[in-house]
Amino acid sequence: QVQLVEPGGGLVQAGGSLILSCTASGSIFSVYTMGWYRQAPGKQRELVAGISGDGTTNVPDSVKGRFTISRDVAKNTLYLQMNSLKPEDTGVYYCNRLPPVQRYWGQGTQVTVSS
């Protein structure tokens, strides 16, 4: 059973940076496409970054140029570097496979961006 744990959230001022990490209990990052997701208050969960098994990354226009996804396969860790944060980036951030697998949803980590 793979578990995904996402520490690293917090409170940051607009324009600031934060890096999130996601550690897996098994070696999945080199095999599966993985994603970072966020759920803002009152909104549906959305994908904010993805990385394929071969390392190809993709981010939506809403975070392009600000968010970078990366991974350390040896450490079974996925990262999300977030720069130039905006209040609308506030939400709970999760990692999961892409497309997501229900049993892999962890508790997520809260990111709050103050204006």
pLDDT of 1 reads: 55
For residue 38, CA distances in Å to 20, 26, 63, 74 come to 12, 23, 12, 25
∠23-56-9 over CA atoms, to 5°? 35
pLDDT tens column, 13-44: 999 999 999 988 877 887 889 999 999 999 99
Number of other CB atoms surrounding residue 89 within 10 Å:
22
Residue 88 half-sphere exposure, CB side, CA atoms within 13 Å? 5
pLDDT tens column, 63-114: 999 999 999 988 889 999 999 999 999 999 999 999 999 988 988 999 999 9
pLDDT of 39 reads: 97
For residue 27, CA distances in Å to 1, 53, 87 come to 11, 11, 34
Q: Please say if the pLDDT value at position 3 is more than 90.
A: no
pLDDT tens column, 43-74: 999 999 999 989 999 999 999 999 999 999 88
pLDDT of 2 reads: 61
Q: From CA 84, how far away is CA 99, in angstroms rounded?
A: 27
CA nearest neighbour of 89 among 36, 22, 34, 52: 36
